[in-house]
Structures are given as C-alpha cells and as structure tokens.
Amino acid sequence: MHDDRSITEHRLRRVLGERIKPAVYSGALPLTIERWDAAGEPVPVAEGLAAPYGPCAVGEEWGPAWGTTWFKVTGTVPAEWAGRTVEAVLDLGFDRMMPGFQCEGLVHRADGSEVKALNPYNDWVRVADRAAGGERIEWYVEAASNPVLVEHRPTYEGDRLTSGDRPLYRIARMDLAVFETEVWELALDLEVLHDLMMQLGEDEARRYEILRAVDAALDAVDLADVPATAAAARARLAAVLAAPAHASAHRISAVGHAHIDSAWLWPLRETVRKVARTTSNVLGLLEEHPEFVYAMSQAQQLQWIKTHRPELFERIKKKVAEGRFVPVGGMWVESDTNMVGGEAMVRQFLYGKKFFLDEFGIETRGVWLPDSFGYTAALPQIVRLSGSHWFLTQKICWSQVNPFPHHTFRWEGIDGTRVFTHFPPVDTYNSDLGAAQLAHAARNYREKGRGSRSLVPFGWGDGGGGPTREHLARAARQRNLEGSPRVEIETPDAFFEQARAEYEDAPVWAGELYLELHRGTYTSQARTKQGNRRSESLLHEAELWAATAAVRVPGYAYPYEDLERLWKTVLLHQFHDILPGSSIAWVHREARATYARVGEELRAITLAAQLALAGEATAELVFNCAPHARRGVPAGGAGRPAAAGRPVRRTPRTGGGHVLDNGRLRVEVDGRGLIVSAYDVAAGREAVAPGGAANLLQVHPDFPNMWDAWDIDAFYRNNVTDLLDLDSLEVVADGPDAVTLRVARSFGRSRATQYLTLRAGAGTVDIVTEVDWHETEKLLKAAFPLDVKADRSASETQFGHVYRATHTNTSWEAAKFEICAHRWIHVEEPGWGVALLNDSTYGHDVTRDVRPDGGQTTTVRLSLLRAPRYPDPETDQGAHTLRFALAPGAGIADAVREGHALNLPERVLPGAGPIAPLVAVTEGAVVLESLKLAEDRSGDVVVRLYESLGGRAHATLKPGFRVASAAETDLLERPLPGTALGPASEDGSLPLTLRPFQLLTLRLRRT
C-alpha cells in the first residue's frame, strides 16, 4: 500500500480547522451592545446593573489596565430557530493562547444572579436547548480588563497606581447563533483521534486503522454544508472510537480542577472575582454532566465566595453534599512551605480543615499543594497530625537538574512520620486531557510494574474558567479507547485509595522535597518576608499573654475573634506567590500595609493582656515570651531581670579598629569595619577563619535566565564585589552593658549602615544592618568565613532542623547552592560550632574550602536583598533594617534558644511583681511553641510542644493552674484515642517523653 499518511493527516488538520470547527455555530445574528465604564475599583453588582449605559459596537476598544467595564447585551431568538439549540457567543477580545492571564467576564441576569463566566475557551452562554423562538435576551457582563503580564519583562502595569490608561482590548464578537451539536461532536471525535494518532508509532496498525477511518469520515463531509453531513461522518468513526483499551493500559484518575493563585499577576481583590467566575462555570458543568467531579482547594477562596457571592456558595453546598464538588487540601491557602513558621503551618491546617468541617461537614483526607516552590521535611508530621492521609504536588517536575525518581511513594519527614504521596506524571496541574498529555503521563510514570495508575488534574486555571465541556468530551472518548490510557473521572480520595491498595509498599523518600528552581524566592521582597516573620512572632506573643490573662485575671476576655481574624490574614499572605515575593507590585504594596495593621492590632492585644497581668505599678517588669528563660526571667513569665554579667570592655586594636570583650567573647573589628576575630574564651576557639573577615557584605550580579523574582542561577557566583570601602567607623555606645560600633559604607547607588553590638554576658555579636537599597539586578549577601570543618550544615525548619551537605559530591548536593533556613543556621565540628541567627532572612548558602595551612574554611552567607525587575520593577527599592547575629561556640541548643530570643524580644512594663508562667517545661530540648485557649471557646488551655534537638527527650510539663484532665490532640485540638494524661502528681505536673522532633499538642481542661 502506498504511504499517504501525511496527506490524510494534513487534510484532517485543514478541514477540522477551516471548515468543521467554524461550522459549530450557524446563522449568527448580532446582539445589541451597550456599555458603562466603572471608575476606579469594581463596584457591587447592583450598582453595575443600575448604571447609565451608552451605545457600543463590536470592534470597539475597552478596558484600561485593572479597569471594569459593564456590557449590556440584548436580543431576541428568531422564530425560525424554534426547536434548535441556541447560544450566545460573547468574545471580549480573548487571546486563546493565554487563558487566565487577560480579560475575563461574568454574565449576570437582570436580577443580579450569575449565569456563567466568559474566558478564552469558554466564551459561550446557552440560551435554550430547544428554543421556542422569540426568547428575549438581556444579560449584563462584568468585564475585567486585567493586563497581560506573562511576558517576563519589566512593567509598571502591575499596579493600578502606575499602570496606563490606554484601552487594552477590543470587542471581537457578540452574537446569537445556532449551536450545531452534531458538528461539535464531530469536531471532538476528529480532534481526539488525530491527537491519539500522533502519539502512536508509525509502525503501529492502530494508527493506520484510525487514519483510514478519518479519511472515510472526511469523505462523508460536505464542506459546503457541514451540519447536514456531520452525523454521517461520525458514523464512519464509530468503530475506531469503540475499540477498547488494552488490559494493561495505564489508568488515569481525572479530577476536575482550576488552580487559582490567590494572588500573583493580579491583586487579591481580583482573585475574589476569578474564583467566582470559575465556580459559576463549574456549577453549570456539574448540573449538566452527572459524571463530572470537581476538586477545589484553599478554604480562603471558598470563604471569599461565601462573603461576596452567597448565592453561588449555596449552590456549592448542594454539590458538596452530592459528593461531586470536592473540597481538598485541608489548608487555608496553598501556602509556601519553605518559609512559613511551624505554628503558622499548623494554623493553615487548623483553619482550613475547620472551615470545611463547619461549612460542609467534610473531613478532608489529603493535602493538595501542586504549585509551591519546594516542600519542607517537617510537613509529613504536620499532615498526619492534621488528620490527613495523603499528599499531592506537581512542582517538583520543574527541577532543572535531577529528575525525581518516584511518582508514587511514601514521604518521610524529620521525625520519621510517613505520608503516602503522589506526583502526577502528566507534569501539569492544568491538563486539557488531550492525547499528548495522557500519553506523556503513561510514558513518564516511574512506577511501572508495581503501580498502574496516576492522577491528572484537568481544567484551565488562574481565571481561565476551569474545566470545559470539551475536557469532558475528551474524557468520555478516552475512557476506554485502544491506544490511550483509560480515563476515569473520580475524586482524589478514590484515586489515593486505589493507588495505596495496589502499591502499599511504595518506596520511601526521606527529607525535604527541594525544588531545584526558584531559589530566589527565599529572598525576594524582603519587607513581605519581614512582615510575615514579625507577624508570626507577634501572634505567638499575643496568644501567650492573652491566655495567661484569661486564666489568671477575672474579667479578662480572651480575644478569640480578633486572633482568628488576624491569623487568617497572615495565613492568606503566606500564599506561595505572596510570601515568596513573586507577585506584582500591587500585591506587595498591599501586603506591607496589611502587616503594619496586623502589627498594630497584635501589639495592642499584647499590651492589654500584659497590663491586666501586671497590676499596680511598683517596679519595672520584663515580660519574656520566648520559650527559654533569659536574664533570670522564666519562659512565658515576667519579672525583674538578673544582672547581665561581666561588663563589656573596648580597647583599641593594633593596626586600627576596636577590640570588644565581655569575658565570653573577644571580638576584633578592624579598621575596615569587618570582624576579623570572634574568639570563644571558654573554649579557646577562634570562629573566623585565618585571614578571613566576617560580616563582609558582598554584591553579585543577579540576572537569572528567566524567572527574575523566582530564581537565583548558580552562575551568579562567578562575579562578586566585596564591599570594603568605608565611609565611617564610629563608637556609638561604650559599655558597660553594651558596646556598639557604627560602620557605614556606600556602594553603587546604595548605602549600608551596620551596628555591631556586644552585650554584657552575651554569647552573640548582634548586627543590625540598615540598607538604603537602590541597585538593579543585584544580590546582596553577608559572608561569614568560619574556621570550622563542617561536612554539613543544620538549618532550622518547622519544629526542628534539617541537615544539608556543604560539599558537592553529587548533582543533588550541587543543586542545593541556595538553601532556606528559619531563625538560624549552624555548622560544627564535634564539640564546637557556630550559629548565624536572623530575624527575617531565609536565603543562605554554605560552601567549604581548604586553606594552604590544611584547615577548612566553611563560609556561611545570608542573602539579604535582591533587585529583580519582574514582576515588580521596583522590588525592594528603599530602606531596610535587617537583624542577624553571630554566635561562636554555639551548639544546636544554643542556636534554638538564641534564635527565639532574637525573634521574640522582651517587653518592659511597670508592674506589681513577678508573673509565673501559665505553663512551664523543665527540659530545654522541649520547646513550647504555642500557648492558647482552645478554638471551641471552652476555656481549655492548648499547649503545643516539640523536641528541638533531634533526640529523645524526657520532660515535665508544669501547669500554673489546676488541671482536671489532659489529653494529646490532633492539630484541630481533638483528643486522640487513648491519650488521656491524668496528672501524675499533686501539683498537676505531667511527665512527657518525646521522640526526635516530635510535635505534641496537649489540651488541658481546667477545674
């Protein structure tokens, strides 16, 4: 037989694109269009409906960046269309290649109720399945002219304060038309078969069977009258579409989904509208297609719908009850997991799962987190303690260097907890269910021979409209189709149950899921990160003192509602494009203002509780909210501090500079303002490597290959400028309690002023760095070359720490050239180490080198500031204050203690006398992470603890109140079976044993 394959394939593509798809709509009649442009921010629906509309026409420009235009469309169905399926096609000027990143619309009826959304692949509205003729159409389209910001070029369109006023879009089409159902079905038949053919080998008989059937179907099509011949053409395809899949075909669980970033290239207020638009489309599909199942994550987004679109929320509740609209994820938002603090990560699950339980009676069973930029090794324990059983992500497939070895596996966290995990091998969370993507999933699946199934989330995300009727049509055709994986639309829980059943002994991956990409997110938008860290600290402080006052002070009312509202605000801003610094300028401008308001409210709550506790003033009290005693004041208590210790002495340094000595540390600062010696007196050890200088500010070029705000590429290290030029070196405080040196430098268009302080009795050198930053595409680091032979570093993470190699033996280790740490990072030799502490810095790098003297220098650097230009061209420009500290001779326990101390400062108030802690813990390795009253308003005290050193710990919990009963709970504060802990002694003390890095939540019922 002659090979005419390419001719038929070309014929198919042309006929499908130029004749069949255009014939889906016939007899188009223009609708009458009117418009009203809302000034400023979006208006309520009632205002949009009542607005004064003016004339408008197809082809007319509309919509400056971030504007809203309301269109009124009216028309009448012709009598001759009676019995036909009629739709309106409302094209606002869409670019079909960018669903979710351009204009969008929501169609309303005259009474204000929603009809459906308009998106690039969803620009139709059904008028009637069988028109009677004469139906009157009157709809109102709320159209958002969101600018296109996906080109990865610097732009000022990312903030309404700096965007232009030129129209961005042009109305393309607003018609009534007959929807030719049989033509639409034919188009889907041919599309599915064409795409499947392209995935089959040229030597496979199945490919040619399809080819001949397609050829015959095209012969049956009258190109001048496609609707009249569509059924005949479809009949010639029926046999190849009915051929069943192979018994061994890969099985795909297709889950309807619309990944919607809670903020990214649009502000939070636009996400409120995006989720409403998408949900209106989804509800329509659910009502029309009984096989369809839709999964929605992020409780915050459902809360927005409940608040702003209550009628949609009521429809959602009905579909949830049917089991077809499926809440997933269990978190308040799809948060970052690298930088979110431990307690905040707990609250993501507490408030997320509580929302689903309260609103729908649903206990979510899994964690749906497809798009975060790497996953902390602390997460498996948190997932399991939240009552969840599985974890799903997609993002690790983006890693640049090392392909991840599993798609289905058990993920083991720092404490040994394991959670069943799946990475969909389709490598997207916005699948179109096309044959190419399904074939990729089957080929890519790494568990062949042990597992046989994977999950595919399908639907256009980020405001693209979610799943479409075309997606469902593809799923139906490929449910059992020879040459294709088997496709079944079902819930995520159903997939995980089946996957676990067939692969119970899945392999284990221990430790973090490090994304070998987007490492710059540990540093970009420093003010956002600082706002998050300080808000987390202030929330800890406010809850501790408010709980103490609620138990101790008659009449004091614990501020449940205020604390929950503030927590949810902070949790929202931990979304994986806000906290990582990868959103537009508008998002971060609002975030800065929000953090300022949160801080004011939390400081007021703290002050009110402390004043209630302090009583009549007789002396100054120091309130210590840190989980360790300091200056003689107990953790969680207040009192008069003990003497600080040996005074600090300052003497001139030979060759210039100063020597500071407090008996524990002797620190030399040379004439350049650099730390050239940090000597641990008790250990007789020098921290700074010979010939090195610590606290050395360095500037690198920072122009990654693509993702500006997201990425730091390894080649940045090829060029570095050490900031050695000195403007001034001054003594600004001179003991005996503290000595502070002021070091000022200018570089480029910027200036850095550092305050180096050694305090009496302290084991740290405190460094406050004020930077007036006006660089572009630069990276500022602070380097500490240490005389320590360390093969690994320890970085604090949620409820513990993780170790990472300092060498680059393998590509896996080399890829971790920028790492995340919370309050501290630590390197050590056996018996002696050094910690670097910080108050808001997350990005670090650790390298090692061997000196000519044979010793090893381990250099730890903090990433202080970046200056990417996309998506915010003014990222981090302006003034910053960053605090970090060097702790020579510190062990892990010292790092834990000093890290908390730096982030949880003392507060001084007048008071009557000491205030005992509400709850005390005897063992230093066990850290009291959170102290609060129970969410159910019962008045029970909730205590969250964790083992911080990575070893077994025996501790005693000493409540400062009478305890009727105690029990271990999950993160939702529900007692776990068999965990009642009756008081072991008359004073109510509770003995505890914790395994390494164990997280323990206790609920104490008061008598």
Residue whose entry in the numeric block shows the structure tokens 């009549």: 616
Residue 3 banded pLDDT, cuts 50, 70, 90: confident
Asked, as a colleague might, if the bond just before 647 is cis with ω within 30 of 0, I would say no
3-state secondary structure of 839: coil
Angle at 554 between CA 551 and CA 560, to 5 degrees: 55
- Which element (helix H / strand E) includes 368? strand 366-368
Tokens for 192?
Answer: 């599915």
Averaged pLDDT score across all residues of the chain: 97
Is 775's pLDDT higher than 70? Answer: yes
Residues across the chain: 1007
- Which element (helix H / strand E) includes 116? strand 114-118
Q: What does the pLDDT average to over 965-986?
A: 84
Q: Residue 982: what pLDDT?
A: 61
Is 2's pLDDT higher than 70? Answer: no
**Which of 395, 338, 392 is closest to 366 using CA atoms?**
392
**Is residue 485 within 8 Å of 200, Cβ to Cβ?**
no
CA distance 905 to 633: 13
CA distance 298 to 356: 10
CA distance 142 to 150: 23
Cα distances (angstroms) measured from residue 42 to each of 39, 69, 94: 8, 9, 20
Task: Report the largest interatomic distance among the alpha carbons of the chain, rounded to a whole angstrom.
Answer: 104
CA distance 708 to 710: 5
CA distance 631 to 622: 9
Neighbour tally for 891: CB within 10 Å? 16
Give the per-residue SS3 of 145-183.
ECCCCCCCCCCCCCCCCCCCCCCCEECCEEEEEEECHHH
- Which element (helix H / strand E) includes 894? helix 892-903
pTM flag (> 0.95):
yes
Strands 486-489 and 251-256: parallel
Is 377's pLDDT higher than 60? Answer: yes
Cα distances (angstroms) measured from residue 38 to each of 90, 143, 308: 20, 10, 18
Q: What does the pLDDT average to over 843-869?
A: 97
Q: Residue 687: what pLDDT?
A: 98
CA distance 14 to 756: 72
**Is residue 158 within 8 Å of 507, Cβ to Cβ?**
no
pLDDT tens across 268-285, in order? 999 999 999 999 999 999
Q: Residue 390: what pLDDT?
A: 98
Q: Which residue has the higher pLDDT, 353 or 619?
A: 353
Q: Residue 980: what pLDDT?
A: 74
Q: What does the pLDDT average to over 202-218?
A: 97
- Which element (helix H / strand E) includes 209? helix 205-220
**Which of 198, 76, 183 is closest to 138 using CA atoms?**
76
Q: What does the pLDDT average to over 529-539?
A: 98
Residue 978 banded pLDDT, cuts 50, 70, 90: confident
- Give 633's DSSP letter: B
Tokens for 379?
Answer: 């997460």
Sign of CA dihedral 501, 507, 513, 517: negative
Is 1's pLDDT higher than 60? Answer: no
Q: Residue 985: what pLDDT?
A: 64
Using only the alpha carbons of the chain, give its radius of gyration.
31
**Is residue 690 within 8 Å of 786, Cβ to Cβ?**
no
Q: Residue 4: what pLDDT?
A: 80
CA distance 836 to 856: 18
Q: Residue 983: what pLDDT?
A: 55
Q: Residue 847: what pLDDT?
A: 98
Q: What does the pLDDT average to over 416-441?
A: 98
CA distance 648 to 662: 4
Q: Which residue has the higher pLDDT, 617 or 910?
A: 910
Q: Residue 492: what pLDDT?
A: 98
E strands along 671-717, which residues?
675-680, 685-686, 696-701
Positions marked active-site:
371
CA distance 408 to 257: 20
pLDDT tens across 749-765, in order? 999 999 999 999 999 99
Q: What does the pLDDT average to over 435-459?
A: 98
Angle at 45 between CA 40 and CA 46, to 5 degrees: 110
Is 652's pLDDT higher than 80? Answer: yes
Q: What does the pLDDT average to over 929-950?
A: 98
Q: Residue 618: what pLDDT?
A: 85
Q: What does the pLDDT average to over 632-646?
A: 93
Strands 67-76 and 136-145: antiparallel
Lay out the sheet containing 907-911: strands in order across: 637-639, 619-624, 907-911
Is 984's pLDDT higher than 60? Answer: no
**Is residue 589 within 8 Å of 877, Cβ to Cβ?**
no
Q: What does the pLDDT average to over 273-302?
A: 98
